Amino acid sequence: MKRNMKKVWGLLLTASMCVGLAGCGNDSQQVSQSGQSSQDRENTQSSGGQESQSGESGQQGFLDHVEGLPETLDNPDISIVYWYNRDQYAYDTSKNENVYDPILEAIPYFEEKYGGKVNVIYAAWGDMLATVTAQQHSGDAPDLFEVYDETMYSVILSGVVTPLDAFTTDADYSYYDVDKELFSWKDSVYAIPLKPYTRYIMFNKDLFDLEGMKSPDQLFLEGNWNWSTFRDACRQLTKTTDGETSQMGYGSHEESILWFMWANGGSLLNVDTASGTVSSNLGSAPVQNTLNYLIEIRDSLLWNREDNMWGWFDNGLMGMICGKEYPVDLPFDTGMVPFPVGDDYSGKNKVVYPQAMAVPSGAKNPQGAVAFMRIVNELQKVVGDQKEANRIGQENYDMIYGEDVKTVYAYDKGLDDIQKIVSEIVNYMSEGVPASTINSTMDPVIQAQIDLMYK
């Protein structure tokens, strides 16, 4: 246990240095089912914990047929550590009625049904884990908190979270196209998923029209949005004037190299949750091919190291961007599209970012926490999905969630120095270093991190 606790304290230190970014690091742009980015999350914290204020009670009828939802609870009170401040949420929904957070929306339903109270302890995104462990040490562990790619397996190995096998059923993992094993470790499950957020590329329709090119969403619907058409778009949209780049093809945070890997059937880490083993995947063919592909088109790519890609796109000087929230109010038409499928993969796919809620060890009411999550996910299905469709446009929603679209994802960021590792890989790529050389240099670094976290 002492060795595992070192992993948690290392993670807490990393998180405290990277407050406000999901998975910490300036190249993260995580977004929850509410449609808010991690940069917005920094503004949702309040000074200390406070109780939630129940909104108006809704109709309870939609809960009558939720599988496994108990009629009564021995303990009707739960506490949640969460990043989204209700005041901020009220402001966001006043500006856009289609912003929707099912966790905050579930509170009045839970309180009305069970007659208890949901206490929400607000913490910035990067402070949630520290808040949970502080409460555990004080003997007052909360009942729920959010986990994600960088924290999921560390909190399991360190004993911060408790198994949920006695409280959950397969129905709790049937809402979304994400495998239950992602939230498991050695035959036990430790978290309940929220709706995954789709990683998408926003594009400037006017620039594509100006170049006489098919738009990415058209290509996607045709089944032709792939590395070849993405390469063509990047090259055709990249312009130089007097030897200086005057227009860029694509801009993104550095960690999007992982999403290109996923869309090519690969991942940086190979995580086998059934056996509890983790190994580096950097030398695998899908990952090596992904790196070589991105190296090939590097002159058309802008990695957002100085927070400068926003200006390029907003000023109409960048064709495609990942990290900007759709829709936007800009003087040109925009569209959205999933990541292009790689040469080692096939078909249509959408890259998603799975998130989940876990129950801390020492929680007073795990049964109530699981019941709350059943209300959360039912609300997302009954209300939240249509809100999302309204927000991004029904045509975009139907495109992304089409029956012929495969969901791809991975939890391959569970390393202490993952942001540094990704940044170093991007450095080599930007210099044109071959993928095989990157592997020989970085694979030992990744393996050392794996040994630190998982051995």
Q: Report domain extents, the chain.
A: 2-196+354-408, 198-352+416-454
Q: Rounded to two decimals, what is the model's pTM?
A: 0.88
The answer regarding whether domain 2-196+354-408 maps to CATH 3.40.190.10 reads yes
Burial 167-177 (b: 16+ CB within 10 A, else e): bbeeebbebbe
Encode pLDDT of 89-123 as tens digits: 999 999 999 999 999 999 999 999 999 999 999 99
Q: Which fold has domain 198-352+416-454?
A: D-Maltodextrin-Binding Protein; domain 2 (3.40.190)
Out of 4-18, 155-169, 244-258, 320-334, least confident range? 4-18
370-398 pLDDT, tens per residue?
A: 999 999 999 999 999 999 999 999 999 99
For residues 355-366, average pLDDT: 99
> Per residue in 217-240, pLDDT tens?
999 999 999 999 999 999 999 999
Instruction: Give the HSE-up count for residue 401: Cα atoms under 13 Å, Cβ half-sphere.
Output: 16
Burial class (CB in 10 A: 0-12, 13-18, 19+), 430: middle
Helix 435-454 × helix 418-430 angle, to 10°: 180
- The string of pLDDT tens digits covering residues 71-87 is 999 999 999 999 999 99
Instruction: In whole angstroms, give the CA distance from residue 259 to residue 198.
Output: 11
Same fold yes or no, 2-196+354-408 and 198-352+416-454: yes
Indicate if the pLDDT at residue 250 is higher than 60.
Answer: yes
Q: Residue 59's pLDDT is what?
A: 55
